[in-house]
Structure 1
Amino acid sequence: MGLIMNFLFHLYLSGNDPQLLTGNLMGDFVKGRIGDDYPPRLRNGIVLHRRIDSFAQNHPLFRQSRQRIDPCFGLWRGVLVDMFYDHLLADEWQNWSPEPLQLYLARARGMVEANRIHLPERLASLVPLIFEALLPSYVGLEGVARALERMSARVRRPNPLAGGAPELEKNITGLRDDFREFVPQVQRDVCRFLAEWSSDYRI
Protein backbone atom coordinates (compact mmCIF):
# COMPACT_ATOMS: atom_id res chain seq x y z
CA MET A 1 0.00 0.00 0.00
CA GLY A 2 2.93 2.36 0.54
CA LEU A 3 1.58 3.44 3.91
CA ILE A 4 3.44 5.18 6.71
CA MET A 5 2.02 3.86 9.94
CA ASN A 6 3.19 2.96 13.41
CA PHE A 7 6.92 3.63 13.20
CA LEU A 8 7.14 4.99 16.74
CA PHE A 9 5.64 1.88 18.30
CA HIS A 10 8.11 -0.38 16.49
CA LEU A 11 11.08 1.81 17.38
CA TYR A 12 10.05 1.90 21.03
CA LEU A 13 9.79 -1.88 21.26
CA SER A 14 13.25 -2.37 19.76
CA GLY A 15 15.22 -1.39 22.85
CA ASN A 16 18.73 0.00 22.41
CA ASP A 17 20.34 -2.32 19.89
CA PRO A 18 21.06 -0.20 16.75
CA GLN A 19 20.77 -3.02 14.21
CA LEU A 20 17.69 -4.55 15.83
CA LEU A 21 16.04 -1.11 15.88
CA THR A 22 16.98 -0.43 12.26
CA GLY A 23 15.66 -3.81 11.15
CA ASN A 24 12.41 -3.24 13.02
CA LEU A 25 12.00 0.12 11.27
CA MET A 26 12.67 -1.57 7.92
CA GLY A 27 9.95 -4.16 8.44
CA ASP A 28 7.31 -2.61 6.19
CA PHE A 29 9.86 -2.12 3.39
CA VAL A 30 11.20 -5.69 3.21
CA LYS A 31 8.70 -8.15 1.73
CA GLY A 32 8.96 -11.91 1.51
CA ARG A 33 12.18 -13.71 2.28
CA ILE A 34 14.75 -11.79 4.30
CA GLY A 35 18.05 -11.75 2.43
CA ASP A 36 21.15 -13.34 3.96
CA ASP A 37 23.15 -10.23 3.05
CA TYR A 38 21.69 -8.42 6.07
CA PRO A 39 23.64 -8.69 9.36
CA PRO A 40 22.07 -11.20 11.79
CA ARG A 41 20.81 -8.66 14.33
CA LEU A 42 19.29 -6.53 11.60
CA ARG A 43 17.56 -9.61 10.15
CA ASN A 44 16.19 -10.33 13.61
CA GLY A 45 14.85 -6.78 13.72
CA ILE A 46 12.85 -7.41 10.55
CA VAL A 47 11.55 -10.67 12.01
CA LEU A 48 10.67 -8.82 15.22
CA HIS A 49 8.67 -6.27 13.21
CA ARG A 50 6.63 -9.05 11.65
CA ARG A 51 6.12 -10.71 15.01
CA ILE A 52 4.87 -7.47 16.58
CA ASP A 53 2.44 -6.96 13.69
CA SER A 54 1.16 -10.53 13.99
CA PHE A 55 0.84 -10.26 17.77
CA ALA A 56 -1.16 -7.05 17.47
CA GLN A 57 -3.46 -8.21 14.68
CA ASN A 58 -4.41 -11.33 16.63
CA HIS A 59 -4.66 -9.76 20.10
CA PRO A 60 -8.11 -9.26 21.68
CA LEU A 61 -7.27 -5.71 22.80
CA PHE A 62 -6.17 -4.64 19.34
CA ARG A 63 -9.26 -6.25 17.84
CA GLN A 64 -11.35 -4.43 20.44
CA SER A 65 -9.78 -1.15 19.35
CA ARG A 66 -10.64 -1.93 15.73
CA GLN A 67 -14.24 -2.56 16.71
CA ARG A 68 -14.42 0.90 18.29
CA ILE A 69 -13.90 2.47 14.84
CA ASP A 70 -16.95 3.14 12.67
CA PRO A 71 -17.67 0.09 10.46
CA CYS A 72 -17.71 2.35 7.41
CA PHE A 73 -13.88 2.24 7.51
CA GLY A 74 -13.99 -1.51 6.92
CA LEU A 75 -10.61 -3.20 6.61
CA TRP A 76 -8.92 0.19 7.04
CA ARG A 77 -9.81 0.16 10.75
CA GLY A 78 -6.60 -1.73 11.50
CA VAL A 79 -4.54 0.96 9.74
CA LEU A 80 -6.28 3.64 11.80
CA VAL A 81 -5.63 1.80 15.07
CA ASP A 82 -1.94 1.46 14.16
CA MET A 83 -1.78 5.22 13.70
CA PHE A 84 -3.85 5.94 16.82
CA TYR A 85 -1.58 3.76 18.97
CA ASP A 86 1.43 5.74 17.73
CA HIS A 87 -0.38 8.92 18.75
CA LEU A 88 -1.15 7.52 22.20
CA LEU A 89 2.45 6.44 22.68
CA ALA A 90 3.71 9.89 21.70
CA ASP A 91 1.07 11.64 23.82
CA GLU A 92 1.90 9.54 26.91
CA TRP A 93 5.60 9.12 26.21
CA GLN A 94 6.61 10.22 29.70
CA ASN A 95 4.65 7.25 31.11
CA TRP A 96 6.62 4.73 29.05
CA SER A 97 10.13 6.15 28.92
CA PRO A 98 12.31 8.29 31.20
CA GLU A 99 13.91 9.86 28.11
CA PRO A 100 12.15 12.89 26.56
CA LEU A 101 10.61 12.08 23.20
CA GLN A 102 12.69 14.56 21.20
CA LEU A 103 15.93 13.19 22.67
CA TYR A 104 14.79 9.65 22.00
CA LEU A 105 13.96 10.43 18.37
CA ALA A 106 17.36 12.04 17.87
CA ARG A 107 19.10 9.01 19.38
CA ALA A 108 16.99 6.54 17.38
CA ARG A 109 17.70 8.44 14.18
CA GLY A 110 21.41 8.25 14.94
CA MET A 111 21.15 4.46 15.21
CA VAL A 112 19.28 4.28 11.91
CA GLU A 113 21.73 6.61 10.14
CA ALA A 114 24.63 4.45 11.38
CA ASN A 115 23.05 1.56 9.48
CA ARG A 116 22.01 3.57 6.41
CA ILE A 117 23.96 1.27 4.10
CA HIS A 118 21.40 -1.46 4.82
CA LEU A 119 18.25 0.64 4.36
CA PRO A 120 15.98 0.01 1.37
CA GLU A 121 16.27 3.00 -0.97
CA ARG A 122 12.71 4.15 -0.37
CA LEU A 123 13.09 4.09 3.42
CA ALA A 124 16.44 5.90 3.24
CA SER A 125 14.74 8.75 1.39
CA LEU A 126 12.01 8.93 4.05
CA VAL A 127 14.26 9.06 7.14
CA PRO A 128 14.28 12.89 7.37
CA LEU A 129 10.49 13.02 6.96
CA ILE A 130 9.94 10.28 9.56
CA PHE A 131 12.14 11.75 12.28
CA GLU A 132 11.81 15.48 11.62
CA ALA A 133 8.14 15.79 10.67
CA LEU A 134 6.01 12.70 11.10
CA LEU A 135 6.89 11.28 14.50
CA PRO A 136 7.12 14.63 16.34
CA SER A 137 3.71 15.57 14.91
CA TYR A 138 1.99 12.46 16.27
CA VAL A 139 1.71 14.08 19.71
CA GLY A 140 -1.18 16.25 18.47
CA LEU A 141 -4.49 15.31 16.89
CA GLU A 142 -3.81 17.69 14.02
CA GLY A 143 -0.57 15.84 13.27
CA VAL A 144 -2.44 12.55 13.10
CA ALA A 145 -4.99 14.12 10.74
CA ARG A 146 -2.23 15.37 8.42
CA ALA A 147 -0.49 11.98 8.44
CA LEU A 148 -3.73 10.21 7.54
CA GLU A 149 -4.30 12.63 4.68
CA ARG A 150 -0.81 11.91 3.35
CA MET A 151 -1.34 8.18 3.71
CA SER A 152 -4.67 8.37 1.92
CA ALA A 153 -3.10 10.20 -1.01
CA ARG A 154 -0.36 7.57 -1.32
CA VAL A 155 -2.82 4.69 -1.70
CA ARG A 156 -3.74 4.16 -5.33
CA ARG A 157 -7.23 2.85 -4.77
CA PRO A 158 -10.06 4.85 -3.14
CA ASN A 159 -9.89 4.78 0.66
CA PRO A 160 -11.42 6.57 3.68
CA LEU A 161 -8.20 7.25 5.61
CA ALA A 162 -8.25 11.02 5.15
CA GLY A 163 -11.44 11.17 7.22
CA GLY A 164 -10.18 8.97 10.03
CA ALA A 165 -8.95 11.54 12.56
CA PRO A 166 -12.40 12.25 14.08
CA GLU A 167 -12.59 8.57 15.02
CA LEU A 168 -9.58 9.07 17.29
CA GLU A 169 -11.16 12.01 19.07
CA LYS A 170 -14.53 10.28 19.34
CA ASN A 171 -13.11 7.04 20.77
CA ILE A 172 -10.07 8.38 22.62
CA THR A 173 -11.05 7.11 26.09
CA GLY A 174 -11.67 3.53 25.02
CA LEU A 175 -8.64 3.47 22.73
CA ARG A 176 -6.45 4.79 25.52
CA ASP A 177 -7.70 2.07 27.88
CA ASP A 178 -6.97 -0.62 25.28
CA PHE A 179 -3.55 0.84 24.55
CA ARG A 180 -2.45 1.05 28.18
CA GLU A 181 -3.37 -2.60 28.74
CA PHE A 182 -1.87 -3.72 25.43
CA VAL A 183 1.62 -2.21 25.76
CA PRO A 184 2.87 -4.35 28.68
CA GLN A 185 1.60 -7.47 26.94
CA VAL A 186 3.38 -6.80 23.67
CA GLN A 187 6.52 -5.85 25.62
CA ARG A 188 6.48 -9.26 27.29
CA ASP A 189 6.10 -10.97 23.92
CA VAL A 190 9.05 -9.00 22.55
CA CYS A 191 11.14 -10.07 25.52
CA ARG A 192 10.22 -13.71 24.88
CA PHE A 193 11.26 -13.34 21.25
CA LEU A 194 14.58 -11.75 22.17
CA ALA A 195 15.29 -14.49 24.71
CA GLU A 196 14.97 -17.07 21.94
CA TRP A 197 18.09 -15.83 20.15
CA SER A 198 20.07 -13.71 22.59
CA SER A 199 20.52 -14.56 26.22
CA ASP A 200 22.45 -11.34 26.88
CA TYR A 201 19.95 -8.91 25.25
CA ARG A 202 17.76 -6.81 27.52
CA ILE A 203 14.92 -4.57 26.28
Structure 2
Amino acid sequence: MNYLGHAFLSFGDAEILTGNMIGDHVKGKLALEKFPEGIRKGLMLHRKIDSITDVHPAIQRAKVWFRQDYGLYSGAILDSLMDHFLANDPQFFPSSHDLLQFSEKTYNQLETQQAYFPETFKQYFPYMREHNWLYNYRTLQGMQRSLNGLARRAAHIPPIENAYKTFIGHYYQLAQCYYEFIDDIVKAVKIELNPNSL
Protein backbone atom coordinates (compact mmCIF):
# COMPACT_ATOMS: atom_id res chain seq x y z
CA MET A 1 0.00 0.00 0.00
CA ASN A 2 1.12 3.56 -0.64
CA TYR A 3 0.01 6.81 1.02
CA LEU A 4 -3.73 6.31 0.58
CA GLY A 5 -3.52 2.75 1.87
CA HIS A 6 -1.52 3.72 4.94
CA ALA A 7 -3.86 6.64 5.65
CA PHE A 8 -6.96 4.45 5.28
CA LEU A 9 -5.49 1.73 7.50
CA SER A 10 -4.96 4.25 10.32
CA PHE A 11 -8.75 4.28 10.90
CA GLY A 12 -9.00 7.95 11.84
CA ASP A 13 -6.44 8.15 14.67
CA ALA A 14 -4.26 11.25 14.08
CA GLU A 15 -1.12 9.94 15.80
CA ILE A 16 -1.29 6.49 14.23
CA LEU A 17 -1.93 8.21 10.89
CA THR A 18 1.17 10.36 11.31
CA GLY A 19 3.39 7.39 12.12
CA ASN A 20 1.87 5.40 9.29
CA MET A 21 2.43 8.19 6.75
CA ILE A 22 6.02 9.02 7.73
CA GLY A 23 7.05 5.38 8.09
CA ASP A 24 9.26 5.25 5.00
CA HIS A 25 11.30 8.17 6.39
CA VAL A 26 12.05 6.74 9.84
CA LYS A 27 14.60 3.93 9.90
CA GLY A 28 15.74 1.69 12.75
CA LYS A 29 14.55 1.07 16.30
CA LEU A 30 16.48 3.93 17.89
CA ALA A 31 14.72 6.45 15.64
CA LEU A 32 11.38 5.43 17.16
CA GLU A 33 12.29 6.66 20.63
CA LYS A 34 11.92 10.36 19.86
CA PHE A 35 8.23 10.01 18.97
CA PRO A 36 5.15 9.92 21.24
CA GLU A 37 3.60 6.51 21.86
CA GLY A 38 0.76 6.94 19.34
CA ILE A 39 3.12 7.88 16.53
CA ARG A 40 5.45 5.02 17.45
CA LYS A 41 2.45 2.72 17.18
CA GLY A 42 1.76 4.13 13.70
CA LEU A 43 5.38 3.64 12.67
CA MET A 44 5.33 0.02 13.77
CA LEU A 45 1.97 -0.45 12.03
CA HIS A 46 3.47 0.91 8.82
CA ARG A 47 6.19 -1.74 8.98
CA LYS A 48 3.63 -4.45 9.73
CA ILE A 49 1.49 -3.42 6.73
CA ASP A 50 4.54 -3.47 4.47
CA SER A 51 5.65 -6.90 5.68
CA ILE A 52 2.18 -8.42 5.21
CA THR A 53 1.82 -6.83 1.77
CA ASP A 54 5.21 -8.06 0.58
CA VAL A 55 4.38 -11.74 1.15
CA HIS A 56 0.66 -11.80 0.36
CA PRO A 57 -0.03 -14.35 -2.44
CA ALA A 58 -2.14 -11.91 -4.48
CA ILE A 59 0.58 -9.26 -4.40
CA GLN A 60 3.23 -11.84 -5.26
CA ARG A 61 1.15 -12.85 -8.27
CA ALA A 62 0.69 -9.24 -9.37
CA LYS A 63 4.43 -8.51 -9.16
CA VAL A 64 5.11 -11.11 -11.87
CA TRP A 65 3.76 -8.75 -14.55
CA PHE A 66 6.28 -6.05 -13.57
CA ARG A 67 9.30 -8.07 -12.45
CA GLN A 68 10.96 -8.53 -15.84
CA ASP A 69 11.11 -4.77 -16.49
CA TYR A 70 11.44 -3.46 -12.94
CA GLY A 71 12.93 -6.16 -10.71
CA LEU A 72 12.95 -5.02 -7.06
CA TYR A 73 11.01 -1.87 -7.97
CA SER A 74 7.96 -4.05 -8.71
CA GLY A 75 6.88 -3.79 -5.08
CA ALA A 76 6.97 0.03 -5.06
CA ILE A 77 4.98 0.12 -8.31
CA LEU A 78 2.39 -2.28 -6.90
CA ASP A 79 2.03 -0.12 -3.78
CA SER A 80 0.84 2.79 -5.92
CA LEU A 81 -1.41 0.62 -8.06
CA MET A 82 -3.15 -0.88 -5.01
CA ASP A 83 -3.97 2.68 -3.90
CA HIS A 84 -5.77 3.21 -7.23
CA PHE A 85 -8.03 0.23 -6.65
CA LEU A 86 -8.62 1.25 -3.02
CA ALA A 87 -9.59 4.76 -4.17
CA ASN A 88 -12.20 3.19 -6.46
CA ASP A 89 -13.45 0.54 -4.01
CA PRO A 90 -17.17 1.22 -3.34
CA GLN A 91 -16.94 -0.74 -0.09
CA PHE A 92 -14.79 2.05 1.41
CA PHE A 93 -15.32 5.07 -0.88
CA PRO A 94 -18.81 4.82 -2.41
CA SER A 95 -18.31 8.06 -4.35
CA SER A 96 -15.59 10.48 -5.38
CA HIS A 97 -17.00 12.88 -2.77
CA ASP A 98 -16.36 10.33 -0.01
CA LEU A 99 -12.74 10.00 -1.10
CA LEU A 100 -12.39 13.79 -1.30
CA GLN A 101 -13.73 14.17 2.24
CA PHE A 102 -11.40 11.46 3.52
CA SER A 103 -8.42 13.12 1.80
CA GLU A 104 -9.17 16.52 3.33
CA LYS A 105 -9.65 15.03 6.79
CA THR A 106 -6.32 13.21 6.45
CA TYR A 107 -4.45 16.39 5.48
CA ASN A 108 -6.08 18.30 8.35
CA GLN A 109 -5.08 15.63 10.87
CA LEU A 110 -1.52 15.53 9.56
CA GLU A 111 -1.29 19.32 9.76
CA THR A 112 -1.75 19.13 13.54
CA GLN A 113 1.22 16.74 13.82
CA GLN A 114 3.78 18.60 11.69
CA ALA A 115 6.20 18.95 14.59
CA TYR A 116 6.92 15.23 14.21
CA PHE A 117 7.48 15.19 10.44
CA PRO A 118 10.93 14.05 9.28
CA GLU A 119 12.59 16.64 7.06
CA THR A 120 11.91 14.77 3.80
CA PHE A 121 8.20 14.34 4.53
CA LYS A 122 7.97 17.95 5.75
CA GLN A 123 9.30 19.15 2.41
CA TYR A 124 6.73 17.44 0.23
CA PHE A 125 3.66 17.38 2.45
CA PRO A 126 2.60 20.81 1.07
CA TYR A 127 2.77 19.39 -2.47
CA MET A 128 0.86 16.30 -1.41
CA ARG A 129 -1.92 18.51 -0.11
CA GLU A 130 -1.86 21.10 -2.89
CA HIS A 131 -2.04 18.46 -5.62
CA ASN A 132 -4.28 16.18 -3.55
CA TRP A 133 -2.26 13.01 -4.04
CA LEU A 134 -4.67 10.90 -1.98
CA TYR A 135 -7.68 11.82 -4.10
CA ASN A 136 -5.82 11.61 -7.40
CA TYR A 137 -5.03 7.92 -6.99
CA ARG A 138 -8.64 7.52 -8.16
CA THR A 139 -7.97 8.55 -11.77
CA LEU A 140 -5.80 7.09 -14.52
CA GLN A 141 -4.19 10.50 -15.04
CA GLY A 142 -3.44 10.62 -11.32
CA MET A 143 -1.81 7.20 -11.54
CA GLN A 144 0.44 8.40 -14.36
CA ARG A 145 1.55 11.27 -12.13
CA SER A 146 2.08 8.90 -9.20
CA LEU A 147 4.28 6.59 -11.27
CA ASN A 148 6.21 9.56 -12.65
CA GLY A 149 6.79 10.73 -9.08
CA LEU A 150 8.14 7.31 -8.18
CA ALA A 151 10.49 7.48 -11.17
CA ARG A 152 11.80 10.89 -10.00
CA ARG A 153 12.51 9.57 -6.48
CA ALA A 154 14.11 6.28 -7.59
CA ALA A 155 17.25 7.23 -9.48
CA HIS A 156 17.92 3.81 -11.04
CA ILE A 157 14.42 2.70 -11.97
CA PRO A 158 13.97 1.86 -15.68
CA PRO A 159 11.70 4.17 -17.75
CA ILE A 160 8.31 4.15 -16.04
CA GLU A 161 6.16 4.24 -19.18
CA ASN A 162 6.13 0.46 -19.44
CA ALA A 163 4.75 0.18 -15.91
CA TYR A 164 1.75 2.29 -16.88
CA LYS A 165 1.20 0.21 -20.04
CA THR A 166 1.35 -2.99 -17.97
CA PHE A 167 -1.09 -1.48 -15.46
CA ILE A 168 -3.60 -0.74 -18.22
CA GLY A 169 -2.99 -4.04 -20.02
CA HIS A 170 -3.57 -6.11 -16.85
CA TYR A 171 -6.10 -3.77 -15.24
CA TYR A 172 -8.77 -6.35 -14.45
CA GLN A 173 -6.29 -8.99 -13.28
CA LEU A 174 -4.69 -6.40 -10.97
CA ALA A 175 -8.11 -5.43 -9.66
CA GLN A 176 -8.73 -9.08 -8.83
CA CYS A 177 -5.43 -9.22 -6.94
CA TYR A 178 -6.48 -6.12 -4.99
CA TYR A 179 -9.83 -7.66 -3.99
CA GLU A 180 -8.10 -10.85 -2.84
CA PHE A 181 -5.73 -8.75 -0.74
CA ILE A 182 -7.76 -5.91 0.81
CA ASP A 183 -9.97 -7.83 3.23
CA ASP A 184 -6.93 -9.71 4.57
CA ILE A 185 -4.94 -6.54 5.24
CA VAL A 186 -7.90 -4.74 6.83
CA LYS A 187 -8.50 -7.67 9.17
CA ALA A 188 -4.81 -7.96 10.06
CA VAL A 189 -4.53 -4.25 10.89
CA LYS A 190 -7.67 -4.26 13.02
CA ILE A 191 -6.27 -7.18 15.01
CA GLU A 192 -2.91 -5.41 15.32
CA LEU A 193 -4.57 -2.24 16.66
CA ASN A 194 -7.01 -4.10 18.90
CA PRO A 195 -5.88 -7.67 19.67
CA ASN A 196 -9.08 -8.27 21.68
CA SER A 197 -11.32 -7.49 18.71
CA LEU A 198 -11.80 -11.16 17.79
State whether TM-score is above 0.5: yes
Q: Is the 8 A contact 1:145 1:164 kept in 2?
A: no
Q: Is the 8 A contact 2:5 2:83 kept in 1?
A: yes
Q: Is the 8 A contact 1:69 1:171 kept in 2?
A: no
User: In 2 relative to 1, CA 178–104 (structure 1 residues): closer, same or farther, beyond 3 Å?
Assistant: same
Q: Distance in 2 between matches of 1:160 and 1:55?
A: 28
Runs (5+) with no aligned partner, structure 2: none
Where does residue 151 of structure 2 map in the other structure? 152
Identity of aligned residues (%): 28
Where does residue 124 of structure 2 map in the other structure? 126
Q: Distance in 1 between matches of 2:157 and 2:179?
A: 32
Q: Distance in 1 between matches of 2:43 and 2:158?
A: 28
Name which of 108, 113, 118 aligns with 2:106.
108
* Residue 193 (1) aligns with residue 192 (2): yes
Q: TM-score under structure 2 normalisation?
A: 0.89
* Residue 51 (1) aligns with residue 52 (2): no
Q: Distance in 1 between matches of 2:134 and 2:155?
A: 24
The aligned runs of 1:40-189 (5 Å cut-off) are: 40-69=37-66, 71-92=68-89, 94-97=90-93, 100-133=98-131, 134-189=133-188
State the number of aligned residues: 193
Where does residue 2 of structure 2 map in the other structure? 6
Name which of 16, 28, 32 aligns with 1:32.
28
Q: Distance in 2 between matches of 1:143 and 1:114?
A: 26
Q: Is the 8 A contact 1:7 1:86 kept in 2?
A: yes
The amino acid of 2:142's aligned partner reads G
Runs (5+) with no aligned partner, structure 1: none
RMSD over aligned CA atoms reads: 1.9
Deviations 1:61-83, CA, capped at 9 Å, x for gaps: 11011123362222221111111
Q: Is the 8 A contact 2:26 2:32 kept in 1?
A: no
Q: Is the 8 A contact 2:87 2:93 kept in 1?
A: no
The amino acid of 1:59's aligned partner reads H
